[in-house]
Chains A and B, each alone.
Chain A
Amino acid sequence: MRILKYLVILSTIFASSISSAGTLVVNSNQSGESSEAAFNAYVAAFEAAHPDIDVQVNLTEHEAYKTAIRNFLVAEAPDVAIWFAGNRMKFFVDQDLFMDVSDVWADADLNNIMSSSKASLTVDGKQYGVPWGYYQWGVYYRKDIFDNLGLNVPQDWDEFKWVCAMLKKNGITPITIGTKYLWTAGGWFDYLNLRVNGYEHHMDLTAGKISYEDSSLDAVFDAWRELIDPGYFLEDHATYSWQEAQAPQINGEAAMYLIGNFYVPALESAGVVDKMDFFQFPPIVEGIGTFEDAPTDTMHIPSGAKNVEDAKKFLAFMSDPAAATNWAKMAGMLSPNSLADAPTDRFQKMGFAMLNAADGLAQFYDRDANPDMAKAGMEGFQEFMVKPDREGKIRARIEKERERIHGPL
Chain B
Amino acid sequence: MTFWQRNQLKFAPFYFLAPGLILFLIYVIYPIIDSIWVSFHEWNGMPKDTLKDDGTPKNWKWVGFGNYIVLFQDEDFYVAFFNNVRWLILSLLVIPLGLALALFLNQNFKGMRFIKSFFYFPFVINLVVVGLIFAWFYNPKYGLLGQAFSGLGLKPIPILSDEIYATYGIIFASFWPSIAYTMIIYITGLTGINREMIEAGRIDGASGFKMLWHIVLPQLKPATLIAVVITIVGALRSFDLIAIMTAGGPWGSTKVLAYKMYEEALFNFRMGYGAAVATILFLLMDIYIAYFLYNLYKNERGAK
Contacts and interface: CB of A to CB of B under 8 A. Distances in A.
A contacting B, Cβ–Cβ less than 8 Å: yes
Interface of A: 66-67, 70, 74, 95-97, 179-182, 235-240, 244, 247-248, 371-372, 375, 379-380, 382-383, 386, 397, 404
B50 interface: yes
A236 B269 contact: no
B249 A371 contact: no
Given A70-B46, A238-B249, A375-B263, 8 more contacts: A70-B45, A95-B46, A182-B247, A247-B142, A371-B267, A372-B264, A375-B268, A379-B249
A386 B161 contact: yes
Contact of B249 (A247, A372, A382): A382
A180 B246 contact: yes
Contacts of A180: 160, 246-247, 249
B45 A239 contact: no
Interface in B265-286: 266-270
A188 to B, nearest CB: 15
B300 interface: no
B100 interface: no
A238 B251 CA distance: 9
Given A372-B268, A380-B251, A74 B161 contact: no
B221 interface: no
Interface stretch (B20-28, B107-115, B133-141): B133-141
A380 B75 CA distance: 13
A371 B269 contact: yes
Contacts of A382: 249-251
Contacts of B267: 66, 371-372, 375
Interface residues of B, number: 31
B266 A238 contact: no
B252 interface: yes
Contacts of A66: 267
Contacts of A67: 266
Nearest to A382: B251
B47 interface: yes
Given A372-B270, A386-B250, A397 B75 contact: yes
Interface in B129-169: 135, 138-142, 158-161
Contacts of A240: 139, 161
A96 B75 CA distance: 35
10 contacts: A70-B46, A238-B250, A239-B140, A239-B158, A239-B159, A244-B139, A247-B142, A371-B267, A371-B269, A379-B252
Contact of A383 (B158, B246, B250, B269): B250
A74 B47 contact: yes
A405 to B, nearest CB: 9
B269 A239 contact: no
Contacts of B139: 239-240, 244
Contacts, number: 74
B289 interface: no
B129 to A, nearest CB: 15
B141 to A, nearest CB: 7
A397 B74 CA distance: 10
B46 A237 contact: no
Contacts of B70: 404
Nearest to A378: B251
Given A180-B246, A238-B161, A372 B269 contact: yes
Interface string B85-126: 000000000000000000000000000000000000000000
A372 B142 CA distance: 33
Nearest to B52: A94
Contacts of B269: 70, 371-372
Given A239-B160, A397-B75, A181 B268 contact: no
A161 to B, nearest CB: 25
A248 B140 CA distance: 12
B5 to A, nearest CB: 42
A265 to B, nearest CB: 20
A240 B268 CA distance: 23
Contacts of A386: 161, 250-251
A383 B139 CA distance: 19
A80 B197 CA distance: 69
A236 B161 contact: yes
Interface in B254-269: 263-264, 266-269
Nearest to B70: A404
A397 B70 CA distance: 14
Contacts of B264: 372
A96 B49 CA distance: 12
B56 to A, nearest CB: 15
Nearest to B75: A397
Nearest to A234: B141
A97 B269 CA distance: 16
B270 A96 contact: no
Contacts of B159: 239
A236 B251 contact: no
Q: Which of B70, B139, B249 has the most CB of A within 10 A?
A: B249
A70 B59 CA distance: 13
A179 B247 CA distance: 10
Rank and list the top 3 A-B pairs by shortest CB-CB distance, nearest first: A238-B161, A372-B268, A236-B158
A235 B140 CA distance: 9
B140 A236 contact: yes
B249 A182 contact: yes
Nearest to A244: B139
A288 B169 CA distance: 45
A239 B250 CA distance: 8
Contacts of A181: 247
A66 B249 CA distance: 20
A70 B251 CA distance: 26
Contacts of A239: 135, 138-140, 158-161
A119 B75 CA distance: 38
B205 to A, nearest CB: 55
Contacts of A236: 140-141, 158, 161
B161 A237 contact: yes
